[in-house]
Structure 1
Amino acid sequence: MPSTRLVGLLATAIRQQRQSRELSQCELAELAGISQAMVARIEGGDRAPSLAVLERLLAAMDVQLVVGVEPLDAHLDARIDDLASQSIAERIDALGLDRLLGRLSDFPQVIIGSTAALLQGAPVPVDALEIALRWQDSKPFTRWLETNYGQRWNARWEEFGGVWLEPEEPGEHRWSTRYGEIRATMCDELPETIEVRHGERSYQVVPLVELELTEPRAADLLRRYRDRQLAGDG
């Protein structure tokens, strides 16, 4: 059977889970009630497991499969590889991060999400500045948006514009501005941060360990990056 991307992903996932538990192929096969030869073929990408066999293999390691989809043209793996070849300074410059942050001086904010992960060295794709803002600062934020040609994301039409700017109004906390896109998480109190420095600038960011506990999107990207590292080492 010809190998496919999905077969390869399953093979890598099973092999990594087995190795992390320090199980041999024979031991996993015995736990799952299949032959060692079948485990070897599945891990080698030479055989696609049936759903029943896949569930038995995962259950034997006390894990389960979580299925998600994404657009084919996202090419996340290629983007991660490309970002990994760049310095952090290059990634910051490509995002226009300093230019945007330099103009967000009217109210306190904290860098969160994938932006915070990037500033801590993780080569994850970032398409917007992700920040946490306090509700008490929503009015100066709205004034800033008005001054800088802000448009809020309209989920109905899947484009920016045509809805109220104010964070208090229903809708995603996502805006386009003259300096770039901003995605905000509104909160009563700003989260705890650490300081990271790049060049002459320091940034207040949520630590990676906290991102992985509280922000699913950033956690998924970090996990994807680490899985690719493990696959490359293997």
Structure 2
Amino acid sequence: MPQSSRLATDIAALLRRERGARQLTQQQLADRAGTSQSAVARIERGDRVPGIPLVERLFAALGLQIAVTAEELDSHPDARMDALAARSLDDRIDELGLDQLLNRLGDLPHLLTGSTAALLQGAPVPADAVEIAVRWGDSARFTAWLEAAYGQRWNARWREFGGLYPAPEEPGEHYWSTRYGKIRAQMCDELPEAIEVRHGNRSYRVVPLVTVELTDPQAADLLRRHRQRSAEGSPSAAGPVARTPQ
């Protein structure tokens, strides 16, 4: 499963959080740091590790500096799950951009699966894209939606989005970046059985957790880790932070 660099993901989340806390737009932060809004947007998407001088300028413009720490190799997923468990489901849904993307999907038949389905059922597993199941029979409709949403397919060779045809039938991983956020699709002959999860004023059709564990090895491993650590009462691991210069 393709993923951006862990460091890029951490920096992206940290910058979004600190910028949002100061109620600044990307353009306002860019003006303060002497860069472009598009550069800020790229960093906040977390697609690749940005240059250190630019990162330092951006955080300096927020009155902060980056503090780098080292940790055990396996501790990062645990720290992310601990951080997610401490946040409300509303916050996790908003950060993923789930509702916005689902609104744009319109009447395309789909189910939520993978880590997205697990998240909606209360599991604090990291989700870096909205994960859906789509029937091969709806592939043409899905392709048309991707093209209208300026979808760029993940290119494993270049480790970035773009340079491949978006249609699911074409070679490549079923992972796209769109104007509404990132989306990962499980293409199938028929949609799996689903349950309905209600949160706030919205209902979501999701694959049950037991099915997620049987069909998504990465999500299954994270769920097992979370249950084991919850039983052991393990403390949260420390992660990268932004600090106010002394």
- With structure 1 as the length reference, what TM-score do the two structures score? 0.67
- Select the structure of larger CA radius of gyration: 1
Secondary structure, counterpart of 1:116 in structure 2: helix
Alignment partners' CA distance in 1, 2:76 and 2:216: 21
In structure 2, distance between residues paired with 1:149 and 1:210: 31
For each residue in 1:46-79, what CA deviation from the matched residue of structure 2 results, as whole angstroms up to 9, or x when unmatched?
xxxxxxxxxxxxxxxxxxxxxxxxx949811111
Q: How many residues align?
A: 164
Q: Does residue 108 of structure 1 match 2:100?
A: no
Q: Distance in 2 between matches of 1:168 and 1:128?
A: 20
Letter in 2 for 1:121: G
Q: Does structure 2 conserve the Cα–Cα contact (< 8 Å) formed by 1:154 and 1:163?
A: yes
Equivalent residue, structure 1, for 2:127: 126
Tell me the distance in 1 between the aligned counterparts of 2:150 and 2:225: 35
What secondary structure, in the 3-state scheme, does the structure 2 residue paired with 1:102 have?
helix
Alpha-carbon spacing, 1:216–1:136, altered in 2? closer, same or farther (3 Å):
same
Amino acid at match of 1:122: A
- Asked if the contact 1:153/1:172 (under 8 Å) is kept, the reply is yes
Q: Does the 8 A contact of 1:106 with 1:140 survive in 2?
A: no
Aligned counterparts of 1:151 and 1:130: Cα–Cα separation in 2? 16
> 2:198 maps to which residue?
197
Partner of 1:86: 87
Q: Which has the higher contact order (CA 8 A, sep 6+)?
A: 2
Runs of 4+ in 1 over 2 A off after TM superposition: 71-74
Q: Identity over aligned residues, as a percent?
A: 70
Using the alignment, how far apart are the partners of 1:145 and 1:136 within structure 2? 16
Segments of 5+ residues of structure 2 without an aligned counterpart are: 1-71, 236-246
CA contact (8 A) 1:95 1:128 kept: yes
Equivalent position amino acid for 1:112 in 2 = T
Match of 1:142 in 2: 143
Task: Tell me which residue corresponds to 1:166.
Answer: 167
Q: Taking structure 2 as the reference length, what is the TM-score of the superposition?
A: 0.64
How does 1:5-16 map onto structure 2 within 5 Å?
none
Q: 3-state DSSP class of the match of 2:184?
A: strand
- Say which SS state the counterpart of residue 158 (structure 2) adopts: coil
Decide whether aligned partners of structure 1 residues 74 and 227 sit closer, same or farther in structure 2, where only a CA change above 3 A counts: closer
- Structure 1 residue 88: Cα displacement: 1.1
